[in-house]
């Protein structure tokens, strides 16, 4: 797997951008992958981010936008990379904007080469575009001043940096072993910027004209994230950044579960319906978790990707096998079948679930990606119990005396919001639990506890506030009461 940051649109990832600003399009997986780089010709020499020491990269916000700075003679070249949907029918593309912060003009070589394991057998210039095996590999926003195309016998770096790039577009090059490479060399005056795009489709138009600016893309992601659960904890965990990475991650059972938990049930259902390689019992458990965390039958009856998810549940159940975890998952789905009016399936599913011993939230296998980060954060905030929910079971010392606030986190008994405010050594708890629309007959009063703060406290109220006892044996730092009195609403 490529190391770097995935960039993409709400519809999915388009590329991985590594720490040196190289764009690696994800493509269609058929082995014709390429990589797109940029080199800078300054007044003293040529610079390539892939080998220079003075390269720094940051992700300035929540959105999948990267800023990479490379020091050259006289100042910085700044590459801002994002992905966006082009206006019209051109489709999505990765956009790289290069800003020249030096006081002198530079030359920019936008290069296309075969990625490791990939092949480019034919490379051609088409105006402002480089075409790799008939597809648009890159398009720049102005007419190139020079061009360079090489096959396996040539050295693209040597051609460009040695001044051997030509002024007229050369004939296409062919390479039997798939090692064709090329560059479009574009002038970049001082204190100005240029853009190039790495499209997923056939982009013909000027990328600066048809692809939105980075500010619009950042605002779009922020708008989409307004429906997500929010978390404000002392250690400054950026749950929304992890959610963006989750939306761009490879589909898996853990991705489905965390999307559902953090407020993206529709997106979770889409990934569940599409499936992923090797999915079986884990896909069945993810389907059960989606129902358990949302209790929203519309996610199963609406046609999100082709036919409704409910139409494929039988196949998901059959592929899930006959193990204890699969039986438990089918038992959870009994409530869905009942809501959908299939009472025979509901009874059969319930009987399968009764054949296994109950397990509290047996976690799906989670790797080290954003799903793992979000799962760990959620487990720290709330855990399911036999009769309700435990909040803040394992409260870190660093959180003592500090405000904590959670809104809209999905649990098996409803969407949860709570806040902790401190009055000296005593914490005040404010909470609100919005029950699921179809909670199921087995759900009784939900008992809320906060064992990490006050083991004696419990409540069955859907909303409320309480001043808890000071945590036993744990003295928080001196705190002050918020100016608003600590209101949760």
Where are the domains positioned within the chain? 5-220, 250-354, 370-467
- Looking at the domain 5-220, which fold is it? Beta-galactosidase; Chain A, domain 5 (2.70.98)
Percentage above 90 pLDDT, the chain: 80
Calpha distance 252→163 (Å, rounded): 48
Q: Which residue in this structure is represented by tokens 């009472």?
A: 343
Please give the pLDDT value at position 399: 92
Which residues fall within 8 angstroms of residue 272, CB to CB, at 6 or more apart? 256, 283, 286, 287, 290, 309
Instruction: Give yes or no for residue 480 having a pLDDT over 80.
Output: no
Contact (CB, 8 A) for 298 and 290: no
Q: Is the pLDDT of residue 172 over 90?
A: yes
Q: Which residues pair with residue 84 across a beta bridge?
A: 93
pLDDT value at position 61?
A: 96
Cα-trace Rg, the chain: 27
Residue 430 has pLDDT above 90, yes or no: yes
Average pLDDT over residues 339-363: 77
**Cα–Cα distance between 7 and 5 in angstroms, integer?**
6
* C-alpha to C-alpha distance for 198 and 6, rounded to whole angstroms: 14
Which band of pLDDT confidence, cut at 50, 70 and 90, is reported for residue 113? very high
Tokens of 288: 């059960």
pLDDT of 235 reads 77
Q: Please report the pLDDT score of residue 357 as a whole number.
A: 53
pLDDT at site 27: 75
**Three-state secondary structure call for residue 41:** strand
Q: Is 463 left (phi over 0), alpha (psi -120 to 50) or beta?
A: beta
Q: Per-residue pLDDT for 340 more than 50?
A: yes
Residue 418 pLDDT class (50, 70, 90 cuts): very high
Give how far the C-alpha of residue 96 lies from the chain's centroid of Cα atoms, to the nearest Å.
19
Q: What is the pLDDT of residues 368-411, one digit of tens each?
A: 799 999 999 999 999 999 999 999 998 888 899 999 999 999 99
Helix or strand holding residue 273 (H, E): helix 265-274
Helices H, strands E: what count in the chain?
12, 26
Q: What mean pLDDT is reported for the chain?
A: 92
Q: How confident is the model at residue 31 (pLDDT cuts 50, 70, 90)?
A: very low
Which of 73-82, 353-362, 433-442, 454-463 shows the lowest per-residue confidence on average (mean pLDDT)?
353-362
- pTM (2 d.p.): 0.91
Residues in the chain: 489
pLDDT value at residue 365: 61
CB 112, CB 180: distance < 8 Å: no
10 Å CB burial of residue 328 (0-12, 13-18, 19+) is: buried
d(CA 412, CA 438): 11
Task: Copy the structure tokens of residue 240.
Answer: 């929304």
Which pLDDT band holds residue 6 (cuts at 50, 70, 90)? very high
For residue 474, what pLDDT band results from cuts at 50, 70 and 90?
low
Give the pLDDT confidence score for residue 447 in this predicted structure.
97
- From 93, 157, 161, 149, select the one nearest 121 (Cα to Cα): 149
DSSP line for 351-384: HHHHTS---S-PPPP--SSHHHHHHHHHHHHEEE
pLDDT at 90 over 50: yes
- Cα-Cα-Cα-Cα torsion 131, 132, 135, 139, nearest 10 degrees, comes to -40
Confidence of residue 353 (pLDDT cuts 50, 70, 90): confident
pLDDT above 80: residue 270: yes
- Most confident stretch, 17-31, 162-176, 347-361: 162-176
Rounded to an integer, the average pLDDT of 442-471 is 93
Which residues touch 283 (CB under 8 Å, ≥6 apart)?
253, 272, 275, 276, 316, 319, 320
Residues whose CB falls within 8 Å of the CB of residue 454, separated by 6 or more in sequence, listed in order: 427, 468, 469, 471
Q: Is 116 exposed, middle or buried (0-12, 13-18, 19+ CB in 10 A)?
A: exposed
pLDDT at 215: 98
Contact 394, 377 (CB under 8 A): no
Q: Is the pLDDT of residue 58 over 90?
A: yes
- The whole-angstrom separation of Cα 464 and Cα 469 is 16
Percent of the chain exceeding pLDDT 70 equals 92
The pLDDT tens digits of the residues spanning 199-236 come to 999 999 999 999 999 999 999 999 999 999 999 999 77
Lowest mean pLDDT among 114-123, 253-262, 273-282, 407-416: 273-282
For 459, half-sphere exposure in the C-beta direction (CA atoms, 13 angstrom radius) is 17
Whole-angstrom Cα distance, residue 75 to residue 86? 32
Per-residue pLDDT, 45 = 98
What value does the mean pLDDT take over residues 266-288? Answer: 92
């Amino acid at each position: 797997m490529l190391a770097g940051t995935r960039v993409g649109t709400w519809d999915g990832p388009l590329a991985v951008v590594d720490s040196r600003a190289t764009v690696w399009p994800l493509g269609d997986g058929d082995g014709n992958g390429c990589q797109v780089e940029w080199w800078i010709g300054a007044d003293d020499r040529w610079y390539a981010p892939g080998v220079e020491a003075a390269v720094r990269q940051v992700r300035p916000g929540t959105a999948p936008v990267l800023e990479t700075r490379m020091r050259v003679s006289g100042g910085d070249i700044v590459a801002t990379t994002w992905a966006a949907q082009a206006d019209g029918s051109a489709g999505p593309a990765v956009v790289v904007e290069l800003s020249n912060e030096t006081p002198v003009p530079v030359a920019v070589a936008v290069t296309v080469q075969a990625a490791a394991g990939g092949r480019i057998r034919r490379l051609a210039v088409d105006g402002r575009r480089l075409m790799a095996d008939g597809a648009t590999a890159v398009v720049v926003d102005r007419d190139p001043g020079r061009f360079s195309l090489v096959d396996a016998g040539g050295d693209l770096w040597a051609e460009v940096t040695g001044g051997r790039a030509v002024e007229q577009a050369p004939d296409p090059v062919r390479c039997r072993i798939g090692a064709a490479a090329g560059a479009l060399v574009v002038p970049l005056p001082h204190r100005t910027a240029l853009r190039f795009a790495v499209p997923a489709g056939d982009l013909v138009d000027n990328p600066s004209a048809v692809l939105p600016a980075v500010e619009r893309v950042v605002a779009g992601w922020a708008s989409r994230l307004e429906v997500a659960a929010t978390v404000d904890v002392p250690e400054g965990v950026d749950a929304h950044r992890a959610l963006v990475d989750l939306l761009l991650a490879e589909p898996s059972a853990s991705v489905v579960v965390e999307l559902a938990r953090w407020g993206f049930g529709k997106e979770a259902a889409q990934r569940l319906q599409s499936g992923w390689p090797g999915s079986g019992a884990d896909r069945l458990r993810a389907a059960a978790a989606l129902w358990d965390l949302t209790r929203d039958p519309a996610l199963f009856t609406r046609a999100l990707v082709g036919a409704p998810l409910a139409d494929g549940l039988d196949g998901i159940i059959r592929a899930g096998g006959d193990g204890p975890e699969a039986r438990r998952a089918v038992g959870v789905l009994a409530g869905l079948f009942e809501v959908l009016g299939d009472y025979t399936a509901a009874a059969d599913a319930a009987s399968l679930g009764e054949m296994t011993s109950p397990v509290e939230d047996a976690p799906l296998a989670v790797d080290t990606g954003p799903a793992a980060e979000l799962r760990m954060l959620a487990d720290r905030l709330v855990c399911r119990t036999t009769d309700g929910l435990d909040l803040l079971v394992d409260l870190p010392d660093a959180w003592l005396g500090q405000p904590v606030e959670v809104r809209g986190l999905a649990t098996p008994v409803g969407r949860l919001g709570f806040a902790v405010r401190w009055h000296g050594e005593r914490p005040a708890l404010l909470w609100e639990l919005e029950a699921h629309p179809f909670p199921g007959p087995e759900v009784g009063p939900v008992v809320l506890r906060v064992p990490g703060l006050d083991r004696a406290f419990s409540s069955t109220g859907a909303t409320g506030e309480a001043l808890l006892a000071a945590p036993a044996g744990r003295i928080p730092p001196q705190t002050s009461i918020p100016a608003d009195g600590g209101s949760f609403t």
